[in-house]
Structure 1
């Protein structure tokens, strides 16, 4: 019978493609991970990895083993932990990727309540504006928009992803705002340059009647981070196009005002992503339920929608 540590080291190495990265995720030394994998290969009398100086790749036998055990490993670990403690309680490291605006603005405030309910869960939250590989990078879940749904990944809708035009009251006192998206060329736009593509983001705005107008005008200022774009708008440097969650508190406080209140850009939905399994690990299920409950309780789907009432 193989030890759980040997199997876990094998699966994490297969996911990461290297002993060193697997060791980092497991909190072990690379030598210990390599030793456990070598022991597993010896016991099975089969080579599981092709080894090179740059990367490890699975052999045919390794692929078969990974397919057979990877989906059940965390469930087995949770079951063993439950038996050893006598409690069916969520536990372990919870690695989640989320955008900074959603994470810091809307989920960090409810983290104390989550930890009070699930004290044996240790959150490891990554605030990043990128699409992560849930399985390959060892994430339990991710929150964002537009993720490619690889086989075995579930997307649970949380709220619409709407982008609106905003400016500070001070800016609007000294500048005439556009009355229609076609007049955007006369406004001082603060643009966002994508770090992934290197291009300046352009938007197609629409209204409730279904009309669409492309906003693609030379910007007065270009920044590379949504938070910086928001700060520039707060400083009265121009009009910014930002996601509703990024600016909603400032709209409610009055430090930002909506421009073109009948128009918005629809960029999809904000979803909660996690790997599909017959039985989710208890820590992941607890997080999924907690986040969806928080969105429902605080009516975030409704509040994140770019309706004229949000102006």
Structure 2
């Protein structure tokens, strides 16, 4: 059996966490993946993996072997890429996960330009606000906003997303226009997001003349998906904060009105994130650079500084 193939399969099992997921990502039968790892262990005369019915864990010897061979595999990929036209003509399957509002309002409308530049890339676009496991789910990169919790991942900030406070004209006609953020926690209905990862509510923050007001009280409705929030605000259910790139077009069409415009709100950093131990192939690099350029052209995005 090919030694390099056995090493690649072993590395994929380590990254995916199970033989089944590794086999799926490599488009190989599970039995072949198992046999290749067994062959590698037999040749090395060490146990690399501890196997259970639900998950695979790495032995100390396996962890050391993975760390050293991962660098070798990356070097081999670099050598092969330099000997082909892959850098000039990126190709192949590319799996990207994007938040729903960013996908709908920014990424998807611009994809025609991406395909003109890179016609040989087959893009698989996962659209969700939920956290994904890049390694286990075999995702090449994700676009996400907010705090990065996994410090082992490589993150490139591509934009800052300013927030706007908005409500529907019908809501304002019924309840009046708020004049101070504190009214949102008492006299008005504040809609809110909660984390799809841990269920915790996000804090709505307002700043003016050095004064900061945080609205953290209970809300009538909380959602964990950005398009659901847009629907709730348009339905007149309350006041909410949302990204300026989604709010401004709705304001311009008269479907929403801005609330408390003299109070500043914080911006959310937006990142392209990818695994550190996966070779940054030409297709991933092409997408990351395209996304970074795309966000510099968005009128409702702040600078990346």
Please confirm whether the aligned pair reaches a TM-score higher than 0.5, indicating the same fold.
Answer: yes
Alignment correspondent of 1:97: 97
| Residues 165, 264 of structure 1: 8 Å contact kept | no
1-structure distance, mates of 2:104, 2:29: 32
1-structure distance, mates of 2:70, 2:101: 33
| Residues 100, 226 of structure 2: 8 Å contact kept | no
Report the CA distance between 1:2 and its aligned residue: 4.1
Alignment correspondent of 2:301: 301
Report the CA distance between 1:177 and its aligned residue: 1.6
* Aligned pairs (5 A) from 1:126-145: 126-144=126-144, 145=146
Residue aligned with 1:150, SS = coil
Q: TM-score, normalised by structure 1?
A: 0.84
2-structure distance, mates of 1:75, 1:249: 47
Q: Which moved more, 1:197-206 or 1:73-82?
A: 73-82
**Contiguous gaps of at least 5 residues in structure 2:** none
2-structure distance, mates of 1:281, 1:13: 20
2-structure distance, mates of 1:86, 1:273: 22
**Cα 1:277–1:6, aligned 2, differ >3 Å: closer, same or farther?**
closer
Residue aligned with 2:154, SS = strand
Q: TM-score, normalised by structure 2?
A: 0.86
| Residues 131, 147 of structure 1: 8 Å contact kept | no
Q: Deviations over 1:60-83 (max 9, x none)?
A: 332122112224535634654674
| Residues 159, 300 of structure 1: 8 Å contact kept | no
Q: Which moved more, 1:260-269 or 1:173-182?
A: 260-269
2-structure distance, mates of 1:10, 1:213: 52
Report the CA distance between 1:106 and its aligned residue: 0.6
**Contiguous gaps of at least 5 residues in structure 1:** 305-311
Structure 1 segments of 4+ aligned residues over 6 angstroms from their partners: 84-87
Q: Which moved more, 1:9-18 or 1:221-230?
A: 221-230
| Residues 129, 224 of structure 2: 8 Å contact kept | no
2-structure distance, mates of 1:212, 1:104: 32
Report the CA distance between 1:293 and its aligned residue: 0.9
| Residues 157, 269 of structure 1: 8 Å contact kept | yes
Q: Deviations over 1:213-256 (max 9, x none)?
A: 01134434344433222112112222122233343331233311
Alignment correspondent of 1:165: 165
2-structure distance, mates of 1:133, 1:107: 21
2-structure distance, mates of 1:279, 1:35: 25
